[in-house]
Structure 1
Amino acid sequence: MAATQVIRSEWTKIRSVASTVWTLSLAVIVTIALGMLISALSKNEFDNMSARDQLSFDPTFISFAGMSLGQLAMIVFGVLVVSNEYSTGMIRTSLAAVPQRGTFLFSKIAVATGLALAVGMATSFVTFFLGQAMLGEHRAQLGDPGVLRAVIGGGLYMTLIAMFSMGVAAMLRSPMLSLGILMPFFFLVSNILGNVSATEKIGRYLPDQAGSKIMQVVTPVDDSTPYGPWGGLGIMALWVVAALAGGYVLLKRRDA
């Protein structure tokens, strides 16, 4: 089967699954709503902040505060896109129709990535504008130095989270196992490692910690991170490449 036909078939599969719509919708709603709420609270708290906190106040980054929860929905999307066929047993039919396993996997990932990128970018821009509206006089403008990079970076970050989850799901095949590892990893383990002084230097190289640097415009006073915004996104991209490569190798080597 030609690659274009496989891509068309994967697009039909993805859009016909209800979970695709609700997970992406949840990612959008949670990211925007929480971003607006935290932006509004930050505006009210600004005058009570210390001079040091006011100096490192980053209105752009604050509007992306909902991303930490919104990314969980993107993780679910990435996992379900790849592992749904394993849990339903449809994988055997799919691989019989497309024996070239690399073509099959990367067509699925290409379609899902395109969808995640479109949703991620739209979410990032809407989150930014609504968040800034909540911040009032403390808001940033899209034309300010570093702001457009941060907003585009927010969309790329959400996309890379989904892609990383696809790679992990391709390796593990089970939706429950994949989510059972990814959810605690991003929601708990990464935050703990990144915020405890003994493990902070390890935590900053984890995909979400490194990738979220792209959304920062104002560098905190006590920040000693040895890489910049694009460097952080580059580290996250390496994690994604490793996960996808692992998924591809295992798909090639084992039975459906």
Structure 2
Amino acid sequence: MAATQVIRSEWTKIRSVASTVWTLSLAVVVTIALGMLISALSKNEFDTMPRQDRVSFDPTYISFAGMTLGQLAMIVFGVLVVSNEYSTGMIRTSLAAVPRRAAFLFSKIAVATGLALVVALATSFATFFLGQAMLGPHRTELGDPGVLRAVVGGGLYMTLIAMFSMGVAAMLRSPMLSLGILMPFFFLISNILGNVDATKKIGRFLPDQAGSRIMQVVTPSGDDTPYGPWGGLGIMALWVAASLVGGYVLLKRRDA
């Protein structure tokens, strides 16, 4: 089967499965709604904040507060895109139609990544503009230094989260097992490692903590992170590459 036919086939699979469409829609709604809520609360509390917090106040990063839950939906999307065929048994039919496993896997990932990127960038820009509207006099502008980078970076961050989840799902094959590992990893283990003094230096190199740096415009006082915004996104990209290579190697070596 030609590459264009494989890509067209994967696009048909993704858009015909209701769960993947709903998870992307949920990512948009949750990210925007929570970002607006946190921005509105921050506006009301700004005058009562300690002086140090007002000095380091980052209106751009505040508007992205919803990314915490939005990435949950992106994780689910990434897992379902890859593992749905394993749970339904359709993987045997797919591999029979596309015996070249590299073409099969990376066509699926390319289509899903393209869709995730479009949705994530649209969500990031909408979240920023609506969040700034909620912040009122404490808002920032897209043309201010570092802001456009942070907004574009927010879309890239959510896309990389989805890609990392695809790689993990390709390795584990089971949607329940994949989600059972990814959810605690991002929402429990990463937070613990990043907030405990003994493990903080390790935690900052985890994919979510490194990648989220791209969305920061104002560096918090006392921050000694050894990499910048693009460096953090690069670290996250390395995690993504490792997960995708691992998924391909295991797909190539084992039976469907």
**What is the distance in 1 between the residues matched to 2:60 and 2:197?**
26
Task: Report 1:149-188 matches (<5 A).
Answer: 149-188=149-188
**What is the distance in 1 between the residues matched to 2:223 and 2:55?**
13
1:226 match: 226
Task: Spell out structure 1 runs of 4+ moving beyond 6 A.
Answer: none
Deviations 1:102-131 (A, max 9, x none): 000000000000000000000000000000
**What is the distance in 2 between the residues matched to 1:59 and 1:197?**
27
**What is the distance in 1 between the residues matched to 2:61 and 2:222?**
16
Segment drifting more, 192-201 vs 140-149? 192-201
Which amino acid is the alignment partner of residue 116 of structure 2?
A
Which amino acid is the alignment partner of residue 53 of structure 1?
D
Task: Using structure 2 for the length normalisation, give the TM-score.
Answer: 1.00
Q: Secondary structure of the residue that 1:222 maps to in structure 2?
A: coil
2:106 match: 106
Task: Report 1:43-54 matches (<5 A).
Answer: 43-54=43-54
**What is the distance in 1 between the residues matched to 2:182 and 2:93?**
28
1:9 and 2:18 correspond: no
1:216 match: 216
**1:222 Cα deviation (Å)?**
1.6
**What is the distance in 1 between the residues matched to 2:85 and 2:197?**
42
**What is the distance in 2 between the residues matched to 1:232 and 1:215?**
10
**What is the distance in 2 between the residues matched to 1:81 and 1:164?**
12
Can you give the 5+ residue segments of structure 2 that lack an aligned partner in the other structure? none
2:134 match: 134
Deviations 1:25-51 (A, max 9, x none): 100000000000000000011101111
Task: Using structure 1 for the length normalisation, give the TM-score.
Answer: 1.00
**What is the distance in 2 between the residues matched to 1:43 and 1:167?**
39
**What is the distance in 1 between the residues matched to 2:207 and 2:12?**
30
1:80 match: 80
Which amino acid is the alignment partner of residue 74 of structure 2?
M
**Length, aligned pairs only:** 256
Task: Report 1:34-45 matches (<5 A).
Answer: 34-45=34-45
Can you give the 5+ residue segments of structure 1 that lack an aligned partner in the other structure? none
1:119 match: 119
**What is the distance in 1 between the residues matched to 2:24 and 2:198?**
36
**What is the distance in 2 between the residues matched to 1:94 and 1:193?**
40
**What is the distance in 2 between the residues matched to 1:22 and 1:211?**
25
2:26 match: 26
**What is the distance in 2 between the residues matched to 1:161 and 1:207?**
8
**What is the distance in 2 between the residues matched to 1:244 and 1:105?**
9
2:240 match: 240
**What RMSD over aligned residues (CA atoms) do the two structures have, in Å?**
0.4
**What is the distance in 2 between the residues matched to 1:83 and 1:33?**
29
1:194 and 2:194 correspond: yes
Identity of aligned residues (%): 88
**1:170 Cα deviation (Å)?**
0.1
Q: Secondary structure of the residue that 1:188 maps to in structure 2?
A: helix
**1:224 Cα deviation (Å)?**
0.8
**What is the distance in 1 between the residues matched to 2:208 and 2:171?**
20
**What is the distance in 2 between the residues matched to 1:69 and 1:82?**
21
**What is the distance in 2 between the residues matched to 1:43 and 1:185?**
32
**1:21 Cα deviation (Å)?**
1.1
